[in-house]
Structures are given as structure tokens and as C-alpha cells.
């Protein structure tokens, strides 16, 4: 096995700058690069490790990986995340509906997320607060304050600890969700109808979510803009087979607002901007690059038009790919560990050429993925990620 010659932060920064590091950086533990609580518990048992389960993302039911797991898998990233605003009560409430016990969480925007007690895998939206709203209702709706200082208490201290006391890179939790929050509040079907029948409502709601995130990032960058290496933003734009909505609407309405946010962030920090969208998003990649995005995640290689070789050839000189390790739908959950290793080797050898690649599964590791396959995933990343 070759020898490492870089620190984790040096390694990640080299890859993000399209330079060749000693090996491919490895990531685990973010909102889109995490591990489900059930998979995590099985992994701990398999590795013979002990950890008190901490849920770091209630909606997706993601566990916070302990340091022993991160070190075992040679993970180069460590995450920081802002909190809720002052006075927000994020208590998960148990209620009975339709003969079932539900765990309900109402977020700061008034969206209710629910998970059945008898199938506690993740939360889905059960209440859209703006489902029946008019434009007048929207103007009066009480949005949370993005620039609430309580959100960022202790954030700089955590970032400084990582920067000064560890070799790892500092990555932010997910933020800047300008588009998706709109349909969370409105309801997906109604939102899609709004695009056709009352686009003015869409634009007004997008302006409210953009204003929230502009305020949020002003304080976030005041606190850690000089310390963070990667900033995660994102909105899902595509599904398995192509765009979720008309690209024309995206380019006319959504893209300019995303661009305003990205350009503001870039004016305040040297951090690289990661954009998250699942699905067959190749048609949108030139737009994301035009907006100033540096990184694409999760690189859903099983979706239409997302072949690793094609993506690397077309965009590899302008975009960093973060993810794309394996077909997470059909291979990682059900293949043998040897098949997992072969799939990882194939994709890593394509994506790592010339730098510009950070390793992770395609999105979060889900419940039911065998722990042997998780070990094979990360061990293969380490073994085949070294550059000659």
C-alpha cells in the first residue's frame, strides 16, 4: 500500500483545485453523505465498536458517525452545522392518526414532517402550511429570521477546533435550499401547478426563501467564512430519468436567484461551493457551473445520462465530482463485498483522473445495506484511491 504524504485538509484542497493529491479524499458524515441509524448500528456491531447513537438529521434519521468509525475509514472531512433560531421548539411530538402512532416534527417554516412509529425509517411531509395560500397570505406569512444570532453560537469555536487541533478539512452542513423549501411549504403538486397557472406566486415565494438564506449566510460567513473549506447548498432539480420540471422555468426563475446567493457567498469566502441535486441532472450542469458552483453531489451514476466516463470527459476540468462511488440503488444494498469493491474501483479510477474527485457513496447509506458492503465500499476507496 502506498504511503500518505498529505494531511486530510491538504488532500481535499488539492482535489478541489483539480490538482493530483496523494490519494482521493474520502467523505462520510454530512446531510447527503451520511449513514442511516439502522445501517450505522449494524456497522458498529460488525466492527466491534461502541457508540451512543446520536441523530444528526431527524428527517433522514441519520446517525452522527463517531471518531473511531471516521478514522477506520480514513475520512478526511469533519462537519460543522448551524442551529435553529432562538425560541424554536424542535421537539418531536407523538400523535395518533389513522390508527397509527406518528412522530411529528414541525420545522421553522411551519412544515410538519412525520414518521410512523411502526416503520421508523425517515420522515415525510404531512402538512404544507402554504397549501391554500394566496399571494396576500404569503406576504403576511411569518418566515423565520435567517440572521438570528442564536443560530451560530459556538460555530466558530467548533471550526477553530477542527482547523487548529486536527488535520481535517472543515465542511458545512446543508444550507441555501432556495427552491425545495418552496414546495415543502406549498406541496409538490400545487407548486407544479403554480409554475403553469400562477408563476408570480412561485417568484414571490422564491424571493422569500432567498431573502432568508441571504440573511443566514451574512451571519454564517461573518462567523466562519475564513475557516470553512466547503459550503454545501442544494436543491433537487432532477429525478431518475431527467429534470423534475421544465428547464426553461429553472433558467428563467430559479437559476437567477440561486446565482445571487452563490455569488454573494463567493464574494465573502474562498470556500468551494458544493451543490447537491439528485437524479439525471446533466442538462443542468452547465447552468450550475455558470452560477459559480465548484462541486456536484451526489453524482447519481444509476440515473439517465450520468455515466461516470461521460461526466468526467465533459465537465471534469470545470467541476469537482463528490460522490458517484457506486450504484447505491442496485449494487451497494444487494451485491457481494467483492462486487462492491469492483464497482468502486471502476468508478474511482474514472473520476480520480487529474484530481477533481472526492469519494462518497451516492447519497446516504440507507437502512439495510449490509455492514460488510459498507466496509468494502470504504476499504476499496482507500486502496484504489492512491495516485501513482
pLDDT for 364: 96
Residue 248 resides in a domain: yes
Q: What is the dihedral of CA 10, 12, 14, 15, to 10 degrees?
A: 160
**SS3 state of residue 155:** helix
**Domain count of the chain?**
1
Residue 58 resides in a domain: yes
Instruction: Please state the rounded mean pLDDT for residues 250-278.
Output: 98
Q: Which residue in 159, 169, 381 sits closest to 272, CA to CA? A: 169
Q: Which residue in 294, 306, 30 sits closest to 173, CA to CA? A: 30
Using alpha carbons, list the distances in angstroms from residue 310 to 290, 306, 316: 19, 7, 9
Instruction: Please state the rounded mean pLDDT for residues 197-224.
Output: 98
pLDDT for 258: 98
Range of the domain at 113: 8-384
pLDDT tier at 388 (50, 70, 90 boundaries)? confident
Mean pLDDT of the chain: 97
What is the enclosing helix (H) or strand (E) of 214? helix 199-224
Instruction: Write out the three cell numbers for 28.
Output: 462520510
Strand partners, 365: 35
What is the enclosing helix (H) or strand (E) of 96? strand 93-97
Residue 3 resides in a domain: no
Percent of the chain with pLDDT over 90: 99
Residue 228 resides in a domain: yes
pLDDT for 378: 98
In the block, which residue shows the cell 432556495? 178
Q: Is the CB of residue 250 less than 8 Å from the CB of residue 284?
A: yes
Give CA–CA dist 171/180, Å, rounded: 21
Give CA–CA dist 166/77, Å, rounded: 10
Q: Is the CB of residue 247 less than 8 Å from the CB of residue 283?
A: yes
> Which CATH number covers residue 129?
3.20.20.210
Residue 1 resides in a domain: no
pLDDT in tens, 56-76: 999 999 999 999 999 999 999
Count other C-beta atoms under 10 Å from residue 89's C-beta: 8
Give CA–CA dist 34/328, Å, rounded: 13
Residue 301 resides in a domain: yes
Residue 260 resides in a domain: yes
Whole-model pTM: value is: 0.96
pLDDT tier at 1 (50, 70, 90 boundaries)? confident
Residue 140 pLDDT exceeds 90: yes
Angle at alpha carbon of residue 304, lines to 28 and 59, rounded to 5°: 40
pLDDT for 306: 97
Residue 2 resides in a domain: no
Instruction: Please state the rounded mean pLDDT for residues 348-366.
Output: 97
Give CA–CA dist 212/128, Å, rounded: 18
In 107-164, where do the E strands start and end?
Answer: 112-116, 124-127
pLDDT tier at 371 (50, 70, 90 boundaries)? very high
pLDDT in tens, 289-329: 999 999 999 999 999 999 999 999 999 999 999 999 999 99
pLDDT in tens, 102-132: 999 999 999 999 999 999 999 999 999 999 9
Amino acid at each position: 500500500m502506498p504511503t500518505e504524504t498529505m494531511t486530510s485538509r491538504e488532500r481535499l484542497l488539492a482535489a478541489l483545485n483539480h490538482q493530483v493529491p496523494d490519494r482521493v479524499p474520502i467523505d462520510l458524515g454530512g446531510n447527503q453523505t451520511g449513514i442511516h441509524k439502522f445501517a450505522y448500528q449494524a456497522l458498529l456491531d460488525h466492527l466491534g465498536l461502541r457508540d451512543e447513537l446520536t441523530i444528526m438529521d431527524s428527517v433522514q434519521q441519520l446517525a452522527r458517525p463517531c471518531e473511531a468509525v471516521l478514522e477506520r475509514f480514513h475520512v478526511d472531512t469533519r462537519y460543522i452545522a448551524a442551529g435553529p433560531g432562538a425560541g424554536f421548539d424542535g421537539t418531536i411530538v407523538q400523535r395518533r392518526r389513522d390508527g397509527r402512532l406518528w412522530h411529528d416534527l414541525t420545522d421553522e417554516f411551519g412544515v410538519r414532517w412525520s414518521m410512523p412509529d411502526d416503520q421508523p425509517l425517515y420522515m415525510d411531509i404531512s402538512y404544507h402550511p402554504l397549501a391554500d395560500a394566496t399571494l396576500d397570505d404569503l406576504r403576511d406569512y411569518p418566515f423565520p429570521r435567517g440572521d438570528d444570532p442564536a443560530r451560530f453560537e459556538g460555530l466558530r469555536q467548533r471550526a477553530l477546533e477542527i482547523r487548529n487541533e486536527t488535520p481535517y478539512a472543515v465542511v458545512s452542513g446543508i444550507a441555501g435550499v432556495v427552491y425545495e423549501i418552496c414546495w415543502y411549504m406549498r406541496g409538490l403538486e400545487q407548486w407544479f401547478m403554480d409554475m403553469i397557472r400562477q408563476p408570480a406566486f412561485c417568484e414571490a415565494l422564491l424571493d422569500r426563501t432567498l431573502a432568508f438564506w441571504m440573511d443566514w449566510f451574512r451571519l454564517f460567513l461573518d462567523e466562519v467564512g475564513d475557516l470553512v473549506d466547503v459550503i454545501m447548498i442544494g436543491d433537487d432539480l432532477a429525478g431518475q430519468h431527467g429534470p423534475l420540471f421544465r428547464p426553461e422555468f429553472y433558467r428563467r426563475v430559479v437559476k437567477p436567484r440561486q446565482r445571487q446567493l452563490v455569488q454573494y457567498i463567493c464574494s465573502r469566502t474562498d470556500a468551494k461551493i458544493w451543490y447537491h441535486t439528485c437524479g439525471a441532472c446533466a442538462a443542468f450542469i452547465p447552468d450550475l457551473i455558470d452560477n459559480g458552483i465548484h462541486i456536484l453531489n451526489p453524482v447519481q451514476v444509476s440515473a439517465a445520462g450520468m455515466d461516470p466516463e461521460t461526466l468526467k470527459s465533459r465537465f471534469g476540468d470545470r467541476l469537482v465530482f463528490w460522490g458517484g462511488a457506486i450504484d447505491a440503488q442496485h449494487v451497494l444494498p444487494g451485491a457481494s463485498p467483492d462486487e462492491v469493491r469492483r464497482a468502486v474501483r471502476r468508478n474511482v479510477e474514472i473520476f480520480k483522473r487529474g484530481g477533481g474527485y472526492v469519494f462518497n457513496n451516492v447519497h446516504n447509506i440507507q437502512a439495510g445495506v449490509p455492514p460488510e458492503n459498507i466496509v468494502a465500499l470504504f476499504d476499496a476507496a482507500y486502496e484504489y484511491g492512491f495516485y501513482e
